């Protein structure tokens, strides 16, 4: 029987390699999270921290252009020197590496919450409801599936960290001088490098956690233990009990912060009560390799045809 009689339509498009399957996996993952109102609520809350830095720079430039000794805000008189000192010394709104590092650090709290809620949706549901065998039955391998999911998570992380930092970089250059863009090129590279390292590591960690626990509540508890409980434990051991600074290595967010500081050009090894940069990078690399190995073995164990 001819193919036309079966009402089959031949494919008229261009065939691509299996590597192109990464984009549909990432696109569908992004669509699943973007359709949830809770994500946009949390993303809006995360923007409050960015807006503090954003409008703080405007207030700083406004205060620096005033010639009077005091500035009036809605009937409240504030000393000009005190206002400038607040923005530059306390909030670090001086467009240096420390300002961008502070933004990454503060945004990290909301990043953890958003990723904990999105992890079960992105991966856990694929295993619980049998969607993973559907993906793997297509002409794609486990690495294509993992890379597509990682790409979606990296988009979430960069939307809340790297993109706001780039906006602040552009804003300061427009407000001060265009020479800032050329003189601070290392900061731009540091922001991009920090965002890439941060998003890549968190993507692997989240996928591993989501595959292991699958459900939302256990995922949130596990995620909280990894990035909040271990942080408090490390602070108690090093700052209060005066244990060896290497105990801070169990705080993965602090490890990422140290690597990001190195990307910004800061001397990490000179910091007090902190592990060395080499030790920090080895820990992050070891955790990444363990997560990737676990993911590959776990996904390969899924039966496509039963």
- 90-143: per-residue pLDDT in tens? 667 777 888 899 899 888 888 888 887 777 777 766 666 666 666 666 667 777
| Residue 280 pLDDT greater than 90, yes or no | yes
Q: Which has the minimum average pLDDT: 16-20, 243-247, 250-254?
A: 16-20
**pLDDT, greater one: 305 or 174:** 174
Question: Which of 298, 302, 252 is closest to 275 using CA atoms?
Answer: 252
**pLDDT, greater one: 305 or 300:** 300
- 212-237: per-residue pLDDT in tens? 887 777 777 888 788 888 888 999 99
**pTM, full prediction:** 0.85
Contact 257, 105 (CB under 8 A): yes
| Residue 272 pLDDT greater than 70, yes or no | yes
| Residue 156 pLDDT greater than 50, yes or no | yes
Mean pLDDT of the chain: 81
Q: Which pLDDT does position 64 carry in this prediction?
A: 72
Quickly list DSSP for 109-159: HHHHHHHHHHHIIIIIHHHHTTHHHHHHTSS--HHHHHHHHHHHHHHHHHH
Domain range annotation of the chain: 22-55+94-300
Q: Which has the minimum average pLDDT: 3-17, 27-41, 145-159, 283-297?
A: 3-17
Average of per-residue pLDDT across 24-36 = 84
**pLDDT, greater one: 289 or 25:** 289
C-alpha–C-alpha distance, residues 203 and 287, integer Å: 12
Q: Which pLDDT does position 248 carry in this prediction?
A: 93
DSSP state of 87: I
| Residue 76 pLDDT greater than 70, yes or no | no
DSSP state of 26: H
Helix (H, G, I), strand (E, B) or coil at 76: strand
Q: Which pLDDT does position 73 carry in this prediction?
A: 60
Q: Please identify which residue in the block is written with the tokens 């790409």.
A: 151
Torsion of CA 30, 16, 200, 219, to 10 degrees: 50
Q: Which pLDDT does position 127 carry in this prediction?
A: 67
| Residue 200 pLDDT greater than 90, yes or no | yes
- Cβ-Cβ contacts under 8 Å for 109 (sequence gap 6 or more): none
| Residue 201 pLDDT greater than 80, yes or no | yes
Q: Please identify which residue in the block is written with the tokens 């009560």.
A: 273
Torsion of CA 155, 159, 160, 162, to 10 degrees: 90
Quickly list DSSP for 157-171: HHHHTHHHHHHHHHH
Question: Which of 144, 292, 142 is closest to 204 using CA atoms?
Answer: 292
Q: Which pLDDT does position 234 carry in this prediction?
A: 92
Q: Which pLDDT does position 306 carry in this prediction?
A: 45
């Amino acid at each position: 029987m001819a193919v036309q009689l079966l009402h089959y339509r031949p494919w008229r498009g261009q065939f691509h390699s299996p590597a192109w399957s990464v984009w549909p996996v990432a696109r569908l993952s992004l669509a699943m999270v973007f359709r949830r109102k809770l994500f946009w609520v949390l993303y809006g809350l995360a923007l409050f921290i960015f807006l503090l830095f954003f409008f703080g720079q405007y207030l700083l430039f406004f205060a620096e252009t005033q010639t009077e000794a005091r500035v009036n805000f809605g009937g409240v008189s504030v000393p000009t020197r005190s206002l400038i000192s607040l923005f530059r010394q306390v909030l670090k709104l001086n467009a240096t590496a420390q300002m961008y590092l502070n933004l990454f650090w503060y945004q990290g709290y909301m990043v953890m919450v958003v990723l904990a809620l999105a992890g079960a949706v992105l991966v856990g549901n694929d295993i619980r409801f049998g969607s993973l065998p559907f993906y793997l039955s297509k002409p794609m391998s486990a690495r294509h599936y993992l890379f597509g999911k990682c790409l979606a998570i990296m988009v979430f992380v960069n939307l809340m960290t790297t993109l706001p930092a780039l906006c602040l970089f552009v804003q300061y250059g427009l407000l001060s001088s265009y020479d800032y863009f050329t003189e601070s090129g290392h900061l731009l590279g540091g922001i991009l490098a920090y965002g890439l390292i941060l998003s890549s590591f968190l993507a692997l960690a989240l996928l591993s956690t989501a595959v292991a626990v699958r459900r939302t509540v256990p995922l949130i508890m596990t995620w909280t233990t990894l990035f909040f409980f271990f942080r408090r434990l490390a602070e108690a051991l090093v700052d209060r009990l005066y244990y060896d600074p290497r105990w801070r290595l169990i705080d993965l967010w602090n490890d990422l912060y140290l690597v990001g500081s190195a990307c910004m050009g800061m001397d990490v090894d000179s910091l007090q009560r902190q592990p060395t940069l080499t030790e920090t990078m080895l820990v992050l690399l070891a955790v990444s390799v363990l997560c990737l190995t676990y993911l590959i073995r776990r996904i390969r164990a899924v039966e496509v045809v039963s």
